[in-house]
């Protein structure tokens, strides 16, 4: 058992299997077993005296096809065709050989094979028995094995040396009836000759010569008939071919033989799950226990197999390993009544696809339906003594059932230091909730295969993470702007986008103006109390920090696009003294690029300094407003109302009419902050209006706009009508 | 990974060192060397388990697996002298100890400290090797039970043979020792002190072994611009595995880059090759954890040594959020090699960030689809998680269905056929209500009969339907008789018809009126 349990070899023979079915007239003979298909129910409501129909006799052909399709069903279930690892090809042979499918993925399915078999139909007794020979099938099998599978061709293409031969192994399972021992000899020779001949052709044509082929000859006779052919163990006929002979009766015996062979050929083993409680009737109060046998890769029991062979704890007394009547070994695992929901992550060392050994029996389909409905069940090793060992879990994922192997040994990770004991462990104000939201926004979803030239979705995800984390303070006490979401939204969300529309730029600017408004009203900032000594920094200092932080955020994103740059420019402009802003904007009209550069190289300190000056200015300005405020508390509401209506930007169409009104409202003298802001908004909307007019006369929407811009300046960036230029053109 | 130190305590280890003026035995060198190794582990790999085993012609577990390095050192000082070297016995002992403690899934380091004397007679190295080859030959013919050679170990392992001898002394044995390493899969090697045998050269040998086998590897955990220096415990080993079309080898890139996040329930316990604790690496020089983060936190964070616990770490933030939200972070560890991070708790109190390493490959988790094709939710026009977060794009369903997920027909056991026939009859008696199911089941039987070349069944089924028709009670719907007769007739004709030519219900006066 230990030798069999070892890992599969490289370039396994199981990659390509040709199944040859003998379709000669002899196969139409009855198999010697009958099947009662007309079972009268016990409490038949039918009139007494009805005689059930006579049992039917299956032909040798029917038994062979049933056994072979079961072989295919198991392979396709455990190794789904889309993985392209294990391929089957069916060949029918009588007076000629006919393939039912090819190695390509699309033709690798049981339904495809069954349809092909239906087209071929059962053999007819009247066929020309003389010219029927299984040799046609063997020749076609060899030819098929010379054809490279998709994986083999990919492997060939990946080889550094194109001359390097691809190891091309395969297996041929041939179900037929031989006449004598000499007949077998002849078939072997025929096969050997075919391989030698095809290998010669293969080298010339663009095919793969066969490195080694395993011929599994299954001789079948009706049940009860004389059988003078002996089983022969695997023997090497030559370096290219090995051969083994299995001699079986038809009927259920051939099905059992193929069920055994499929396990041997595809590194499978069997597990019987015992004690599955099932209700006999719908709504029954009691349940009986059933067993279900499943097949899966031997690797799922690697632990049990290895432990069984070397350790005493798992010997036959504790670890059940029984054999059924056909000599199949099966590992017994006990059903553990499932909890309602197993969602926690299990430590799982392997997950292998399974298939029920008896797919349409009632217990099997009960179990598979239970699992396909999303339930999972733990399986326990039966032991006479000691503690309970849960070693496996059955669960379905996307319509496929897997046997999960759970780690049962002692974990070397036990008793680890808590994360709170390490670096950063004593920090208590992490932005856990914010990062939780960040994670939810950055969840992954499957995308279809991208078209040529498009980037992989994974790369796109990386780009999103890059953008969204350019400025992301880890702790609450390190940030002001992220603690005042109600005031600053939607700016932090919008600014991380890859592209900003004009409307979104306006949204961002509105957020900035809102902050300016807050500062002018000296509203307190939501600074967290923790980590600050005494009363904490003064309010204007808080605002200085807030502006600096906002500047950092916008700077980090300014390079994303022109519109991102615009948002930063807005911030920088608003924080510059009003006259200076006007002055520089006039200059900027001429040599705008230089200004932008200057702004970028501006150090943190100089901006801070600027901010300080502004704050002084705004302070002076807000004095009057404060006096307004102090005149009477009853005026409060009115004042607030005015602030709010002006802060929230009016709709575009209305703006045009209210433009002069709002300007008229300005209270003379030095321009107030509100004035700066409104004039800026005005110029923006005015420019918009201009653009619209341009479009009306233009042939193409964009063309006209570009022309105007190019006339104005030499600056080539056409879709960047900066605020500076608009101001020039506006009034 | 756990380490077993297997110390040779045969008489030959008591041989004095020829050169030098100190009165040292080889055993003393061995003890001193192992102690150097333990000191290194105590300093750099405190969380690893180590066991101490002594062997001669028998073996003995001196100190079972522990993280208590003091206990291991005390064990070293309790060593007695025994009889002859029998390395096979020692290795068998190691095998049993590891299997009893960890099972077969966990990789282990096995360090054998010997003087390179191969032993004599039964149990000698030469005899062991000969027996191994004869066993190997017998294995090919028939599997033998019981009489097994301890190598290769049933668990993944590295085998280091440390030979406290000069090269000329062990010239003849080196080949045989190397063969032991090869037998175990080739990982590990034979180590000799450089130059003459002395305390200094032996310590150097063990120090080098410790540094190469237990390196303090630093990973960078990254999520865009956020990052953290971390350590994976135990270290993530180079992945090597033989597949159908050749070997796959992956080196860890030492950068865990977060690709995105998933809900715990969506990743659904996939198969992993190893698990590692991810611990923030204590750093002397504080690294800025996020770009511009320093600007807001102020610049005067000069003295960092005492800041270790207080300086925010991305790794801790990530752990906290993963725990609260029950989510996992999908990370890339190397070329087409992925893993996932999540919060894991050994006990209720202490939780940690854990890395589970997936098998290399784009489709390591079948139900997630190809990992390289997982993209940001933001790029999709509709949110697959739904407005109220109740939906999920997982598991990814594949177009091809497995046999148990569709109505597969298998008639190898008579009960399979009987069930299918009964199902048709049951529906036949409830015609015309069950008309749709009746024809569906009838066509399934027809198709299977055609595929299996079981044409007699079609005839038989047809006869049964006719009989069923005669048994219809007087109260039966008149359509039932019409449909049964129609089905029985069509079933006979099906033998010569196409596989896909399904039997359709008879369009009767009644069925029409039903439709109206």
Confidence at residue A614, expressed as pLDDT on a 0 to 100 scale: 53
Distances (CA, A) of A12 to A15, A86, A245, B245: 6, 10, 20, 9
Question: How many A/B residue pairs have CB atoms within 8 Å?
Answer: 473
**A481: nearest CA partner in chain B:** B296
Point out the least confidently predicted range of A199-208, A543-552, A628-637, B347-356: A628-637
Q: Is A464 in the B-facing interface, judged by CB distances under 8 Å?
A: yes
Question: Does pLDDT of A675 surpass 90?
Answer: no
A455 vs A270, residue with greater confidence: A270
Confidence at residue B137, expressed as pLDDT on a 0 to 100 scale: 64
Question: Does pLDDT of B216 surpass 60?
Answer: yes
The alpha carbon of residue B7 is apart from the nearest alpha carbon of chain A, in Å, by: 23
Across chain B, what does the average pLDDT equal? 83
Q: Which chain B residues are closer than 8 Å to A303 by Cβ?
A: 103-105
**What is this structure's pTM?**
0.80
In this complex, which of A307, A457, A469 lies closest to B373 when CB atoms are compared?
Answer: A457
Three-state secondary structure call for residue A413: coil
The alpha carbon of residue A646 is apart from the nearest alpha carbon of chain B, in Å, by: 32
Question: Does pLDDT of A2 surpass 60?
Answer: no
Integer Cα distance of B143 and B122 in angstroms? 24
Confidence at residue B200, expressed as pLDDT on a 0 to 100 scale: 83
Q: Are the C-beta atoms of A468 and A521 separated by less than 8 Å?
A: no
User: Computed over its alpha carbons, how large is the radius of gyration of chain A?
Assistant: 41
* Chain B interface disruption, residue of A412, A469, A554, most B CBs within 10 A: A412
Confidence at residue A102, expressed as pLDDT on a 0 to 100 scale: 93
Question: Does pLDDT of A464 surpass 70?
Answer: yes
Question: Does pLDDT of A292 surpass 70?
Answer: yes
Q: Which chain A residues are closer than 8 Å to B296 by Cβ?
A: 473, 478-480, 545, 548-549, 552
Q: For residues A459, A461, A463 and A468, what is the CA-based torsion angle, rounded to 10 degrees?
A: -170
Integer Cα distance of B91 and B100 in angstroms? 14
Distances (CA, A) of A474 to A116, A432, A546, B396: 64, 9, 16, 34
Q: Give chain B's count of helices (H) and strands (E).
A: 15, 16
Confidence at residue A696, expressed as pLDDT on a 0 to 100 scale: 53
Stretch B504-514: mean pLDDT, rounded? 70
pLDDT per residue as tens digits for the range A135-178 = 999 999 999 999 989 889 888 888 887 778 888 999 999 999 99
Q: Which chain B residues are closer than 8 Å to A456 by Cβ?
A: 372-373, 375
Interior/surface letters A110-135, b for 16+ CB within 10 angstroms, e for the rest: bebbbbbbbebbbbeeebeeeebbbe
- Bridge partner list, A404: A351, A393
Q: Are the C-beta atoms of B89 and B55 separated by less than 8 Å?
A: yes
- Bridge partner list, B247: B242
DSSP A217: E
A333 vs A692, residue with greater confidence: A333
Integer Cα distance of A576 and A611 in angstroms? 7
Local confidence band at A692 (pLDDT 50, 70, 90 cut-offs):
low
Cis before residue A399, ω within 30 degrees of 0?
no
Integer Cα distance of B270 and A443 in angstroms? 18
Q: Are the C-beta atoms of A588 and A624 separated by less than 8 Å?
A: no
Quickly list DSSP for A292-359: EEEEEEGGGGHHHHHHHHH-STTSTTTS-EEE-TT--EEEEEEEEPPPS---SPP-EEEEEEEEESST
Q: Which chain A residues are closer than 8 Å to B141 by Cβ?
A: none
Tell me if A412 and B102 make a contact (CB, 8 A cut-off). Answer: yes
Cis before residue B152, ω within 30 degrees of 0?
yes
Question: Does pLDDT of A584 surpass 60?
Answer: no
Point out the least confidently predicted range of A44-58, A248-262, B332-346: A44-58
Stretch A590-609: mean pLDDT, rounded? 45
Distances (CA, A) of B268 to A287, A344, A371, B222: 30, 8, 14, 24
Q: Which chain A residues are closer than 8 Å to B316 by Cβ?
A: 419-420, 422-425, 427, 430
Token digits for B121?
């007679």
Tell me if A398 and B403 make a contact (CB, 8 A cut-off). Answer: no
pLDDT per residue as tens digits for the range B301-317 = 334 444 566 788 899 99
Q: Which chain A residues are closer than 8 Å to B108 by Cβ?
A: none
Confidence at residue A536, expressed as pLDDT on a 0 to 100 scale: 57
Q: Is A104 in the B-facing interface, judged by CB distances under 8 Å?
A: no
Tell me if A66 and B414 make a contact (CB, 8 A cut-off). Answer: no
Local confidence band at A626 (pLDDT 50, 70, 90 cut-offs):
very low
Q: Is A654 in the B-facing interface, judged by CB distances under 8 Å?
A: no
Question: Does pLDDT of A460 surpass 70?
Answer: yes
Tell me if A310 and B148 make a contact (CB, 8 A cut-off). Answer: yes
Place of tokens 């002084």: A616
Local confidence band at B471 (pLDDT 50, 70, 90 cut-offs):
confident
Confidence at residue B425, expressed as pLDDT on a 0 to 100 scale: 92
Q: How much of chain A exceeds pLDDT 70, in percent?
A: 72
Which of A176, A180, A185, A186 minimizes the C-alpha distance to A227? A180
Place of tokens 């129909």: A53
Integer Cα distance of A589 and A405 in angstroms? 71
Tell me if B292 and A67 make a contact (CB, 8 A cut-off). Answer: no
Backbone angles phi, psi at A176, to 5 degrees: -155, -175
Confidence at residue B309, expressed as pLDDT on a 0 to 100 scale: 65
Q: How much of chain B exceeds pLDDT 90, in percent?
A: 26
Stretch A583-588: mean pLDDT, rounded? 52
pLDDT per residue as tens digits for the range B147-193 = 567 888 888 899 998 888 888 877 878 888 888 888 888 888 888 88
Point out the least confidently predicted range of A55-69, A232-246, B128-142: B128-142
DSSP A123: -
- Alpha helices by DSSP H, B111-216: 125-141, 167-170, 174-183, 199-213
In this complex, which of A407, A462, A474 lies closest to B312 when CB atoms are compared?
Answer: A474
Across chain A, what does the average pLDDT equal? 76
Pairing of strands B351-357, B274-280: antiparallel
Pairing of strands A389-397, A376-381: antiparallel
pLDDT per residue as tens digits for the range B325-374 = 989 999 999 889 999 999 988 766 788 899 999 999 988 898 998 898 89
pLDDT per residue as tens digits for the range B56-109 = 888 888 899 998 888 888 888 887 777 777 888 888 889 888 888 888 888 899
Confidence at residue A632, expressed as pLDDT on a 0 to 100 scale: 41
Confidence at residue A388, expressed as pLDDT on a 0 to 100 scale: 81
The alpha carbon of residue A116 is apart from the nearest alpha carbon of chain B, in Å, by: 8
Confidence at residue A342, expressed as pLDDT on a 0 to 100 scale: 55
Confidence at residue B342, expressed as pLDDT on a 0 to 100 scale: 93
Confidence at residue B147, expressed as pLDDT on a 0 to 100 scale: 56
């Amino acid at each position: 058992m230990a030798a069999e349990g070892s890992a599969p070899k490289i370039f396994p023979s199981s990659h390509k299997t040709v199944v040859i079915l003998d379709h000669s007239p002899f196969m139409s003979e009855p198999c010697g077993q009958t099947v009662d298909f007309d079972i009268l129910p016990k409490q038949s409501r039918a009139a007494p005296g009805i005689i059930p129909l006579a049992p039917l006799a299956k032909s040798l052909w029917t038994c062979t096809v049933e056994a072979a399709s079961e072989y295919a069903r198991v392979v396709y279930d455990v190794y789904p065709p889309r993985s392209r690892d294990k391929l089957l090809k069916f060949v029918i042979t009588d007076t000629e050989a006919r393939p039912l499918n090819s190695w390509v993925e699309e033709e690798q399915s049981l339904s495809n094979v069954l349809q092909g078999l239906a087209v071929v139909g059962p053999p007819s007794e009247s066929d020309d028995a003389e010219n029927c020979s299984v040799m046609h099938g063997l020749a076609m099998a060899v030819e098929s094995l010379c054809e490279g599978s998709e994986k083999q061709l990919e492997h060939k293409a990946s080889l550094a040396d194109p001359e390097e031969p691809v190891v091309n192994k395969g297996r041929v399972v041939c179900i037929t009836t031989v006449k004598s021992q000499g007949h077998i000899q002849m078939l072997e020779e025929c096969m050997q000759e075919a391989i030698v001949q095809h290998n010669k052709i293969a080298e010339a044509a663009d095919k793969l010569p066969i490195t080694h082929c395993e011929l599994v000859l299954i001789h079948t006779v009706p049940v009860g008939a004389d059988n003078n052919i002996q089983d022969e163990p695997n023997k090497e006929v030559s370096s290219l071919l090995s051969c083994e002979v299995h001699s079986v009766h038809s009927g259920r015996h051939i099905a059992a033989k193929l069920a055994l062979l499929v396990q041997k050929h595809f590194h499978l083993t069997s597990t019987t799950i015992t004690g599955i409680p099932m209700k006999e009737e719908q709504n029954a109060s009691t349940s009986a226990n059933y067993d279900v046998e499943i097949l899966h890769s031997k690797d799922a029991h690697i632990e049990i197999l290895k432990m069984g062979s070397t350790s005493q704890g798992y010997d036959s007394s504790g670890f059940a390993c029984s054999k059924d009547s056909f000599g199949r070994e099966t590992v017994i695992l006990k059903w553990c009544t499932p909890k309602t929901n197993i969602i926690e992550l299990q430590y799982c060392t392997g997950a292998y696809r399974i298939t029920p050994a008896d797919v349409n029996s009632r217990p099997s389909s009960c179990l598979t339906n239970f699992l396909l409905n999303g339930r999972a069940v733990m399986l326990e090793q039966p032991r006479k003594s000691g503690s309970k060992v849960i070693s496996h879990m059955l669960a379905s994922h996307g319509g496929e059932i897997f046997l999960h192997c759970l780690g049962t040994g002692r974990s070397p990770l036990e008793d680890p230091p808590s994360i709170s004991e390490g670096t950063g462990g004593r920090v208590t104000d992490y932005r856990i909730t914010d990062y939780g939201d960040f994670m939810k926004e950055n969840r992954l979803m499957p995308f279809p295969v991208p078209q040529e030239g498009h980037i992989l979705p994974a790369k796109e995800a990386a780009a999103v993470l890059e953008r969204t984390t350019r400025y992301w303070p880890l702790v609450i006490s390190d940030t002001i702007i992220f603690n005042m979401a109600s005031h600053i939204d939607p700016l932090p969300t919008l600014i991380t986008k890859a592209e900003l529309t004009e409307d979104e730029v306006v949204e961002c600017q509105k957020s900035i103006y809102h902050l300016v408004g807050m500062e002018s009203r000296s509203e307190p900032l939501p600074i967290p109390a923790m980590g600050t000594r005494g009363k904490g920094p003064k309010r204007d200092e808080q605002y200085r920090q807030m502006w600096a932080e906002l500047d950092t955020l916008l700077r980090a994103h300014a390079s994303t696009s022109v519109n991102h740059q615009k948002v930063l420019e807005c911030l920088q402009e608003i924080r510059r003294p009003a006259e200076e802003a006007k002055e520089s904007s006039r200059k900027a009209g001429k040599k705008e690029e230089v200004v932008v550069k200057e702004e970028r190289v501006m150090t943190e300190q100089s901006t801070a300094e600027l901010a300080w000056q502004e704050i002084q200015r705004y302070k002076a300005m807000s004095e009057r407003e404060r006096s307004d405020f102090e005149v009477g508390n009853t005026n409060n509401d009115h004042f607030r109302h005015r602030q709010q209506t002006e802060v929230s930007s009016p709709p575009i169409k209305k703006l045009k009419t209210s433009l002069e009104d709002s300007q008229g409202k300005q209270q003379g003298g030095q321009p107030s902050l509100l004035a700066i802001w409104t004039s800026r908004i005005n110029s923006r909307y005015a420019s918009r209006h201009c653009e619209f007019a341009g479009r009306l006369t233009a042939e193409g929407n964009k063309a006209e706009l570009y022309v105007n811009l190019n006339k104005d300046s030499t600056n080539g960036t056409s879709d960047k009508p900066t605020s500076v230029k608009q101001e020039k053109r506006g009034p | 990974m756990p380490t077993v130190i297997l110390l040779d305590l045969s008489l030959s280890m008591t041989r004095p060192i020829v050169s030098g003026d100190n009165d040292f035995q080889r055993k003393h060198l061995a003890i001193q060397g192992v102690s150097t190794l333990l000191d290194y582990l105590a300093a750099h790999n405190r969380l690893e388990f180590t066991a101490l085993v002594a062997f001669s012609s028998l073996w003995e577990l001196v100190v079972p697996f522990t993280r208590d390095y003091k206990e291991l050192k005390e064990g070293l000082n309790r060593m007695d002298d025994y009889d002859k070297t029998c390395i096979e016995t020692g290795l068998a002992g190691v095998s049993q100890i590891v299997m009893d403690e960890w099972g077969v899934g966990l990789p282990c380091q096995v360090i054998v400290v010997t003087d390179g004397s191969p032993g004599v007679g039964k149990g000698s190295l030469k005899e062991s090797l000969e027996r191994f080859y004869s066993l190997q030959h017998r294995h090919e013919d028939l599997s033998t039970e019981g009489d097994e050679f301890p190598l290769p170990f049933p668990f993944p392992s590295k085998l280091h043979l440390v030979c406290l001898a000069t090269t000329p002394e062990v010239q003849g044995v080196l080949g045989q020792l190397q063969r032991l390493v090869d037998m175990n899969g080739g990982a590990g090697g034979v180590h000799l002190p450089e130059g003459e045998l002395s305390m200094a050269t032996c310590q150097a040998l063990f120090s080098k072994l410790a540094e190469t086998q237990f390196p303090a590897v630093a990973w960078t955990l990254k999520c865009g611009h956020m990052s953290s220096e971390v350590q994976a415990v135990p270290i993530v080993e180079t992945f090597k595995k033989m597949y159908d079309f050749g070997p796959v080898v992956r080196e860890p890139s030492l950068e865990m880059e977060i690709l995105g996040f998933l809900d715990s329930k969506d990743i659904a316990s996939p198969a992993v090759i190893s698990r590692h604790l991810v611990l923030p690496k204590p750093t002397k020089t504080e690294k800025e954890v996020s770009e511009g983060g320093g600007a807001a936190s102020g610049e005067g964070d000069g003295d960092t040594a005492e800041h270790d616990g207080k300086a925010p770490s991305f790794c801790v933030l990530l752990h906290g959020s993963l725990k609260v939200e029950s989510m996992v972070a999908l990370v890339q560890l190397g070329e087409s090699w992925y893993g996932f991070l999540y919060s894991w708790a050994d006990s209720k109190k202490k939780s940690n960030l854990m890395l589970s390493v997936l098998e290399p490959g784009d489709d390591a988790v079948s139900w997630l689809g190809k990992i390289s094709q997982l993209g940001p939710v933001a790029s999709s026009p509709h949110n697959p998680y739904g407005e109220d977060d109740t939906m999920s794009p997982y598991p990814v369903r594949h177009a091809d269905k497995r046999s148990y997920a569709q109505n597969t027909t298998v008639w190898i056991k008579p009960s399979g056929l009987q069930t299918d026939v009964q199902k048709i009859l049951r529906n036949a008696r409830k015609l015309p209500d069950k008309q749709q199911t009746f024809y569906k089941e009838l066509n399934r039987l027809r198709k299977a009969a055609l595929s299996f070349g079981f044409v007699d069944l079609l005839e038989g089924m047809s006869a049964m339907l006719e009989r069923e028709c005669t048994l219809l009670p007087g109260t039966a719907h008149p359509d039932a008789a019409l449909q049964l007769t129609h089905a029985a007739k069509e079933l006979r004709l099906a033998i010569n018809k196409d596989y896909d030519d399904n039997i359709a219900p008879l369009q009767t006066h009644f069925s029409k009126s039903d439709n109206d």
